[in-house]
Amino acid sequence: MTLAIDQGRRALLRGRRSAPTPPLRPPWSLEESLFTQHCTRCGDCIDVCETAILVKGDGGFPTVDFARGECTFCQGCLSHCETGALNAAITPPWNIKAGINAQCLTQQQVVCRSCADLCETRAIRFDPLAGGVASPRIEADQCTGCGACVSVCPSHAINLSNPEHPTDPDQGAPHHARTR
């Protein structure tokens, strides 16, 4: 009986883990299934994005690539989308938060604060650590999900995800984010 329950739980966990993570859409996007219903893949949001972080993803739908830069929340994409796939009533523009994984240089006792230097909202904190190298942590409440910290990280340790769709832990999960 115990074995059956354990196998059932394992199957459940496997099922959860393999659930697909929705692609990261532009800010102010409708929920994924509605987004793909409304978006005509016209590419207007991609063309006007002032930091060029919007790119064509699978099926021609726009996705965000933070390796190219950050979102300034300029609303260019929002104001040029004529289909309602991006909707000004959605606030905040997205719910993604930064997370820092074990590739962070501080985990190898290398001093680095590149991410914190770029974070305008001061969401990245370093707690003093006696006798060691302090590691960054994210204050989730202060993270806007702008992505500015992603491309400056020399060890590619930062990613952004929706806490409701966390990265697979086996793929280097973000250390999310203590909330106060």
Residue set of the binding site for [4Fe-4S] cluster = 39, 42, 45, 49, 71, 74, 77, 81, 143, 146, 149, 153
Residue 112 to residue 105: CA distance in whole angstroms: 7
Nearest distance from residue 115's CB to ligand SF4, in Å?
Answer: 7
Nearer residue to ligand SF4 within complex by CB, 107 or 114: 114
| DSSP label of 132 | S
Cα Rg of the chain, angstroms = 18
Nearest distance from residue 134's CB to ligand SF4, in Å?
Answer: 16
Strand segments, DSSP code E, in the chain are 54-56, 62-64, 97-100, 124-126, 136-138, 158-161
Centre a 10 Å sphere on the Cβ of residue 13 and count the other Cβ atoms it contains.
10
Structure tokens at 68: 């190219």
Nearest distance from residue 53's CB to ligand SF4, in Å?
Answer: 6
Nearer residue to ligand SF4 within complex by CB, 108 or 121: 121
Nearer residue to ligand SF4 within complex by CB, 80 or 175: 80
Residue 50 to residue 54: CA distance in whole angstroms: 9
Residues at the contact surface with ligand SF4, assessed by CB under 6 A: 26-27, 39-45, 48-51, 53-54, 62, 71-77, 80-81, 83, 85-86, 98, 118-119, 121, 123-124, 138, 143-149
